[in-house]
Amino acid sequence: MNHSIQLREQFLVNRPLADVFNYLSDFSTIAEWDASVFSCQKISDGAIGVGTKFDLILKSAGRHVAMDYTLKTYQKQHLIFEGIAKDFVAIDSIWFKETAQGIEITWQADISFEGILAHLLPIMKPALLKLGKTSMQGLAQALANNNPPPLMQHQIRSQLILPELWQFTKFGYLQAQKNWLPVSNNMQHKHIIITGASSGLGLASAMALAQKGANLTLVVRNQTKGEEVKQKKKKKTGNTKINLEIADMSLMSDVLALSQRLHQQQYPIDVLINNAGALFNPRQQTKEGLEQSFALLLLSPFMFTQQLKPLLAHNSRVINVLSGGMYSQAIDVNDLESQQGTYSGSVAYAKAKRGLMVITEEWAKKWQKEGISVHAMHPGWAETAGVVDSLPKFYKLTKPILRTPKQGADTIVWLASATEASQTTGLFWLDREPRPTHLTVKTQETPLQRTQLWQALLGYEKTFLSKNGH
């Protein structure tokens, strides 16, 4: 008795062969388009090639089934993966053929069953054949790469503070994840700059984008730690296109010096991620005389982005990492450095992030005709060193519901790589969905305040340019 089944599907996609091959050779992407897969991740170090291993969790009859997948054949027009589970083995063979109409993809799955599953095969066969067709439809949609930009789905709910806060937790992330669409863009020739890349969200973003093959420039304060992070990423992903830049982003002299070095390299920037951040208590000043939160969280990304504007490529993206704390504060253009009243580190942090949201919207309006998209995002409540060290009471209270850094960084990676993200600009994102920038009218700024903030930051920039001989 034959205890095996063959599933074979064929379809065309209008994509370059390199895009299709790179996407499918990373078997972890199967979780994006195959509804029968709960999760899949690369577990072996190095670049993808023969011998690369993946840990796949299959959804089957209400339970999860573990499979160990190994890449057996890695050729330009042919991939073979072998998956081993307790009671069955799957051989997935994928062929690519260039035609006048596009890339012809043939996917063949040969599955052999043992034990009780072998005897149940006649009953399971119709469902398996249907599943194969459904999976290939999902893959075809992923490779079509024509998803529309997400719409704001929860505007009414977002005006209710407690339901919105629930969305910040890991449970909000897991719920949102159910509706996400695949991202099949080829990132191998994209140059991405990430500030604050040695820990937390920056580290998680860098790891994910390195795995996608992007050319990375990582901006860190500590060279020793930066080198450790760089080598770890190279070992884990096999990506050797990782460069390190050392700068204290709270010092405008460092920001300007770094900007000058990048200009000298004449390397166009496809994605700029302004992520560097920290929360300071009590009030501190930099050695340049600026309040620390204002310097690091608002003036620094403003000046850095302004200075790098000539290097931003057509269809480039700027991503500003914000915080849900901004929902609690309005900008105060008359006290940008928190000199008045009793100082609160969390309030100064939130006000700076609110200011950066305003600047995000201003850049979006100014640069849209140049093909530059500017985004702001909120990572939710993620377990990072900054939260643990700066907000110990909050951390103790919320630890069971905090997101991992990888979950918090997901929207950063999506904004950097998804085609549909380039079709919008000036929005505030959480879990790949645009969200309101205000929950109450008390935090809304006037047009005059927006203009005053812009002019104030330009004034600071002019002062530091002059001080540093520019």
Give whole-number Cα distances, 63 to 66, 148, 357, in Å. Answer: 10, 33, 43
Backbone angles phi, psi at 356, to 5 degrees: -70, -30
Residue 393, classified by CB atoms within 10 Å of its CB into exposed (0-12), middle (13-18) or buried (19+), is exposed
Contact (Cβ atoms closer than 8 angstroms) between residue 330 and residue 347: no
Q: Which residues contact 228 (CB under 8 A, 6 or more apart)?
A: none
Strand ranges (E), 295-435: 312-321, 373-377, 428-430, 433-435
> Tokens 């009859």 map to which residue?
61
Lookup: tokens for 370: 């140049």
Q: What is the DSSP letter of 185?
A: -
Lookup: tokens for 162: 């407690």
Q: Which residues contact 92 (CB under 8 A, 6 or more apart)?
A: 79, 80, 81, 82, 83, 107, 108, 109
Residue 349, classified by CB atoms within 10 Å of its CB into exposed (0-12), middle (13-18) or buried (19+), is buried
* CA-wise closest residue to 221 among 256, 253, 245: 245
Buried b (16+ CB within 10 A) or exposed e, 405-443: bebbbbbbbbbbbbebbbebbbbbbbbbbbbebbbeeeb
Say whether 349 is catalytic. Answer: yes
**Strand-pair partners of 102:** 99
Q: Which of 23, 173, 327, 349 is catalytic?
A: 349
Q: How far apart are CA 68 and CA 83, in angstroms?
A: 5
Residue 99, classified by CB atoms within 10 Å of its CB into exposed (0-12), middle (13-18) or buried (19+), is exposed
Backbone angles phi, psi at 347, to 5 degrees: -70, -45
Catalytic residue ranges? 349
